Structures are given as C-alpha cells and as structure tokens.
Amino acid sequence: MTQSTAIQSQERGRILSKFADLIEQHTEELAALDALDAGRLFEWGKAVDIPSAAKTVRYYAGAADKIHGQVLKMSREFHAYTLLEPAGVVGHIIPWNFPTTVFVLKVSPSLAAGCTVVVKPAEQTPLSALFYAHLAKQAGIPDGVINVVTGFGPTAGAAISSHMDVDVVSFTGSTEVGRKIMQAAALSNLKPVSLELGGKSPLLIFNDADVDQAADQALLGGEVCAASSRVFVQEGIYDEFVEKLAEKAKTWVVGDPFDPKTRLGPQVDKKQYDKILSYIEDGKREGATLLTGGKPVGTKGYYIQPTIFTDVKEDMLIAKDEIFGPVMSLMKFKTIEEGIKCANNTQYGLAAGIITKNLDVANTVSRSIRAGVIWVNCYFAVDDDCPFGGYKMSGFGRDLGLDAIHKYLLVKSVATPLHNS
C-alpha cells in the first residue's frame, strides 16, 4: 500500500485544503516563478492563475471523502458491490504553457483518489512545480507522495511512460509526444494513459454578434492549447470585425511580463520563437494578408507582435498546424452549414467558440462541432467543475470535473452469496 492510501480520505481532504491555503499565501512568489520561467504575465498570475490553482486544489479536497463504489444488483441471491481503489503511482507529464494550472489540475484529483504522483514539469518551466512540492510538504503531504522529477522529455519523460511501476500516465502536450507516450505505455506495462493534446480551435462569429465584444473574445485566446487560432466570421460583419480587431490588437503592449501594462509576454524559448516566426513566413508565402504584427519586438528576448492574417485559405499551414503563439487566421463564411463544416475541417477537436444571440444557432452549432469543450458567447471559460479535454487528435480523457478522479481509480467488484447453503 502506498503511503497516501494509508491516510484516510477525510484527512487527505484536510491536508489538501491546507495545501490550497499555502498556495494562496504564496501567490506573489508563485506568480513570479511562472513569469520568470514561462513569461506568464505577473499581474495575471496574481489575479487569476494562482488563486484559481488554490481553488482547484480545494475543489478536489472537498471530493476526497466522497469517492465510493456502488451496491450492485446480481441476478442471483448475492450481495455485490464495487470498491474504488487508488490506481497506485500516477505519472504526470506537463507542458510549459500553463505550469501552475496543469500542475494542480493533474496532481489534485490523483491525490484526492489516494494515489502517489511523479510529476515531470516541462524542461523550460520547472520552478513553480518545485515550489508546489515544497508547499505540499509544509501542508503535511507525506514524503514520497508528490515527487517532482525535472528533466528532458526523451529521458525523464520517457522513463515515466515506460516504467513498469508507474500505473497510470496523464499527459498534456503535443500530439506528436502523446503518440510516443501511448506507445511506451503499450510496450511496457499497458498502463492506461490520458492525453490532452494539441488544438486548432475555431471561433465562429455570426452576423448578429456584437462586433466589439466578439473582437475582445477573439483576442482572449492567445498562447493556450485551446487558443481560438482559426476565427471564422460571417460575411455580413466581416469587414467591420476585421477593422475592430486590428484596432484592438494594435493597442496590445508586448514586453516584460512583470510590467502591469504588458498584455503579451515573451515566447518561452528560442525554439518556440523561431517556430512562430517561421509559420508567419509560411503564411506570407502562401498568400495570406498580414493584417497586424508579423514581426519580432526589440532585439533582446523572444517577443513577437500579436499577428493576424486575413485571406487565409483552409489548406494553408497557418490554418492547419498548431502554432502555439500569437498568430490568428481570419476566414469568412456564409451559412451556418458552411461555418460548421469549416470548424470541423481539422484533425484536432479540443475546443470551439460560438458568438451569436440566436439560441437555435448556438444549440445547433454546439451539437455539430466535434470538440470536447464549447464556449458560447465567451472564450476560455475553464472551471473546476467543467471537464476539459479533446476529441479526435486532441486526445482523450478529461481533466477537471469530478470525473477526472476516476482516471486515478480502479474498480473492483466484490460478490458474496447471501445464503451459504
């Protein structure tokens, strides 16, 4: 039995709540670590990332003592029930874009389930994970329950996915690496995996939208796996929308993530910076029109202007590949059917946004888009109780929500005759 399973579930909840309190008490330090490491905006970290992380831990703290099986009906005179048992050692492999958010949304449900965890943060952004481990120890989480292993993907990451004593792997990152993790799991001990992978999420803006608000929602995406990197605008408001979006994008200050005026921080490293600039060149070469941005900012650091392309065709690289940077492709559509078809014309299916005042349109489109998360008249409304994860090549399995706990549990059926004669 692992150490954490020896702790009763109420006690687990109590310790997790203490962990949440400590996260709140160290909001500034944690936000600073993510700003230094990942270039996340310091003010945003203080106001959103870190308080939300504490909330997520508290959500699962409350769930820890409400995990139980069912009494079953057998077709014979038997008493039968299920036990939900901790899966054991869970490996979490996490990316650089949301070092705090992904750490807590992976670790908290697995601890609530009674598992122990081995977490590998991205090589670019290990600092906050190490600090979370330190806070976890202060909260009373026993030694050996949260293990943070820093290192590179092909070595430290691969060691987790191929390890015979790791019982489950939960991964967030690229589709390419997700495939390798699934393969390593299959070739080792057949551990179950859950994969939250890339996206090329569409945002559909219909003629009846408030153009000003729609432009704000479109800009909200940014550098996230669920970014609204393909924006489809219905033809009646297309020109007005393009004008408004360009106006707003130009006001965005790019720069130091510690400066409160900054709206867009640096890219995480040179590799990512070069990749984004190379996609921008692809966009220009393939004939898209650069509406705003397209260039690096300054000569020091990895800063890139918010970049918007118009006249994008669906088969261009910028419309197909996940870029993971401030690059948006604008396209025009006529009918609802065409909008749905465009939205679904991708190998990915992580998220989608719809902006309309027409309930019928919202309902039809929500049901027709093949994606795991749909935001109607909002964008990136991620919350603890809302399952998050993809369809198609955006992966499978869900983070967040109570169901996420079940990724880290095993179901055992127990049956016994009612009469021993």
Looking at beta carbons only, is 106 or 230 nearer to ligand ADP? Answer: 106
Nearer to ligand ADP, 176 or 315 (CB): 176
DSSP 89-116: EEEEE--SSSHHHHHHHHHHHHHHTT-E
The smaller minimum CB distance to ligand ADP, of residues 59 and 171, is found at 171
Q: Cα–chain-centroid distance for residue 130?
A: 20
State the pairing for strand pair 307-310/327-333. Answer: parallel
Quick one: which of 38, 54, 93, 119 contacts ligand ADP (CB under 6 A)? 93
Residue tagged active-site, from 77, 176, 196, 243: 196
Establish if 211 lies at the interface with ligand ADP (CB under 6 A).
no
Cβ at position 373, least distance to ligand ADP in Å? 18
196 is catalytic: yes
Among residues 114 and 389, whose Cβ is nearest to ligand ADP?
389
Q: Which residues pair with 148 in a beta bridge?
A: 119
When asked if residue 321 is in the footprint of ligand ADP (CB under 6 A), the reply is no
Piece of 88-96, 140-148, 337-345, 396-404 that binds ligand ADP (CB under 6 A): 88-96
Report whether 90 contacts 118 (CB < 8 A).
Answer: yes
At its nearest, how many Å lie between ligand ADP and the CB of residue 141?
Answer: 22
**Other Cβ atoms closer than 10 A to 421:** 3
Number of residues that bind ligand ADP (CB under 6 A): 18
Binding mask 163-202 for ligand ADP (x = CB under 6 A): ----------xx--x--xx---------------------
- Indicate whether 91 belongs to the interface with ligand ADP (CB under 6 A): no
DSSP string over 277-342 = HHHHHHHHHTT-EEEE--SB-SSSS--B--EEEES--TTSHHHHS---SSEEEEEEE-SHHHHHHH
* Residues 201 and 373: beta-carbon distance below 8 Å: no
CA distance 171 to 14: 27
Tell me the window of 13-21, 153-161, 186-194, 302-310 that interacts with ligand ADP (CB under 6 A).
153-161
How many Cα atoms sit within 13 Å of 169 on the Cβ side? Answer: 32
**Given 154, 260, 287, 417, the residue binding ligand ADP (CB under 6 A):** 154
**Shortest CB 224 distance to ligand ADP, Å:** 11
Secondary structure percentages of the chain, helix, strand, coil, to 5: 45, 20, 35
> Binding pattern to ligand ADP, positions 109-148, x when CB under 6 A?
-----------x-xx-------------------------
Q: Which residues are catalytic?
A: 196
**Contact residues: ligand ADP, CB under 6 A:** 93-96, 120, 122-123, 152-154, 157-158, 161, 173-174, 177, 180-181
